[in-house]
Amino acid sequence: MLHVYLDQFAWIGLARAAHGRPDGARYRDALEMCRAARAHEVASFPLDLYRYWETAKNHNDGSRNRLVDTMIELSDFDAITTPKQLLQYEIDIALRARFGRPNDVTAPRVFGRGIAHLTAGGVHNSKRRTDQRTASEDKSSDFRTPIDRPLEELLLRAGPSTHARAGLPLDLVNWGDLFVRHEVSVAEEIVRRKVPRAELLPAVVHSDFNDIAPAIRERVTAAGISATEVTETLGGVGLLQLVESLPTRRVTNALRVSKHLHPRSHQKWKANDFIDVVQLPVPAVYCDVVFTEQQWVRALTREKDGRLDERFDTKLIFEPEQLVEVLVAACL
């Protein structure tokens, strides 16, 4: 079964087609192929936690619920895990390759079902039995886990007013603006240091190391590796190489570099870029197909040697016609 990740604009296009809107005409064939692929268990269209977040920000109840109708129909609440869960695993793998520790590294379930999977058990119906399978069993997918459909639908349909009444206003922290300010500061430092184009990736990786250093320290401590051992074995260069070896961070930094390649006046960071840069690396590494914006497809296929779509065997697309082609081929 293909795991097909759809960015928010792709879901919106499919929803418009599902409700007969003229601006969804380009997506009509894609919608029918998605429905057929889902019905014949050829493809799964998992949601990530950020689909909930972006959908919840829509104040128009009618528009939001029409979108949710399509999300429920095609995803059936299939879900893909969060970047945090995979980052911990990828760091453990990188540490074991360099230090022989930790001895036991358990791969997280990348695909599962429902909000419990999306939040690593943080949100669940306490009255429903949880998945009790042992760690030795398959962790790649978990489609048969029972879910509480009314709860799942309630959470996916919740809009700004619902979140506010629950004491969880969506605008409590404007992560998008904070992200833009951070990337602007990185760009200013790149300009100040006169970093040449060929050295942009190392410069961005260095800033990324600062961002994920707490996660690295946590996993180093959990593995029983001392700070002295890290310094003597890796040093500064080795630590940056460790960051660059992490699959999802490699994608993250390729996306970031694509913006820093151009003057800020030509390629400005937007608040919405935050969600793409944070979540897109997970499906780009672990899904079979990723439907996202053209700018991000270009970013991940820019390198002539070692293209990231080829490295992770992921089909990257940005047009509904391409989605039709992929699903037709899968159905043959």
pLDDT digits (tens, 9 = 90+) for 214-243: 999 999 999 999 999 999 999 999 999 999
Query: Helix, strand, or coil here: 78?
Result: strand
The span from the CA of 207 to the CA of 259, in Å, is 14
Tell me how many degrees the CA angle 30-35-36 measures, rounded to the nearest 5: 100
Is there a contact between 21 and 50 (Cβ–Cβ < 8 Å)? no
Inside any domain, residue 137: no
Structural domain total, the chain: 1
In a domain, 245, yes or no: yes
282 occurs within a structural domain: yes
Domain limits for position 99: 2-123+148-331
> The pTM is what?
0.89
The number of C-alpha atoms within 13 Å of 91 and in the hemisphere containing its C-beta is 23
| Structural domain contains residue 142 | no
Write down the pLDDT at residue 148: 86
Residue 159 lies in a domain: yes
143 falls within a domain? no
Average model confidence (pLDDT) across the chain: 89
Q: Is the model more confident about 161 or about 323? A: 323
User: Is 138 domain-assigned?
Assistant: no
What backbone phi and psi angles, to 5 degrees, belong to 120?
A: 55, 40
Task: Quickly state the pLDDT bin for 263 (edges 50, 70, 90).
Answer: low
For residue 135, pLDDT over 50 is answered with no
